[in-house]
């Protein structure tokens, strides 16, 4: 009887995990990528404040890259991605990337600047952003929306 119950439990677990994967449901991949993007943005904001340096987050469809400015001064207003030239310590290249081609980041600017005072902007010397919504899509459907508050750097 114990063996029968054990087999039934194992079959239930396999069915709960295996069937969605066999049917092509990638909602787990979208959720994981959404968590990775939110984690990267939180890490960029805390690193900027902790190091008292500008941190640049470059956002792509399936990737997030983090770099830090080595100089303490703010760069020129039109510096763009060249403002942050050093890799953020402890972050490997591709750490926040998704390999699933059906999952994508939408509504995101190409570059975000996290400042030492905790604010977030789309240019190194520009005004802080308002509330920005970044969508994680699976195909055409939005699976998750990440809110970024530019005046405080809060990521939800």
User: What pLDDT score does 139 carry?
Assistant: 83
Instruction: Please check whether residue 26 is in contact with residue 138, taking contact to mean a CB–CB distance below 8 angstroms.
Output: yes
State the CB neighbour count (10 A cutoff) for residue 29.
18
User: What pLDDT score does 42 carry?
Assistant: 93
User: What pLDDT score does 11 carry?
Assistant: 92
User: What pLDDT score does 113 carry?
Assistant: 92
List the chain pLDDT tens, one digit each, 156 residues: 899 999 999 999 888 877 766 666 667 888 888 999 999 999 999 999 999 999 999 998 988 999 998 887 777 666 766 788 888 888 887 888 888 888 989 887 889 999 999 999 988 888 888 999 999 998 888 889 999 999 998 998
Give the domains, in start order, of the chain with CATH numbers.
Answer: 25-155 (3.55.40.10)
Instruction: Please check whether residue 32 is in contact with residue 55, taking contact to mean a CB–CB distance below 8 angstroms.
Output: no
User: What pLDDT score does 21 carry?
Assistant: 67
Local structure of 37: helix, strand or coil: helix
State the CB neighbour count (10 A cutoff) for residue 119.
19
User: What pLDDT score does 43 carry?
Assistant: 92
pTM of the model: 0.79
């Amino acid at each position: 009887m114990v063996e029968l119950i054990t087999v039934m439990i194992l079959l239930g677990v396999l069915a709960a995990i295996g069937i969605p994967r066999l049917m092509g449901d990638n909602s787990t991949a979208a959720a994981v990528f959404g968590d990775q993007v939110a984690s990267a943005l939180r890490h960029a904001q805390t690193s900027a404040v902790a190091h008292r340096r500008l941190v640049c987050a470059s956002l792509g469809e399936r990737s997030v890259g983090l770099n830090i400015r080595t100089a303490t001064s703010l760069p020129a207003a039109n510096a763009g991605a060249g403002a942050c030239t050093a890799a953020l310590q402890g972050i490997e290249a591709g750490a926040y990337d998704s390999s699933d081609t059906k999952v994508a980041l939408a509504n995101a600017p190409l570059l975000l600047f996290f400042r030492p005072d905790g604010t977030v902007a789309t240019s190194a010397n520009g005004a802080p952003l308002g509330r920005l919504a970044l969508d994680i899509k699976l195909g055409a459907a939005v699976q998750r929306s990440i809110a970024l508050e530019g005046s405080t750097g809060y990521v939800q």
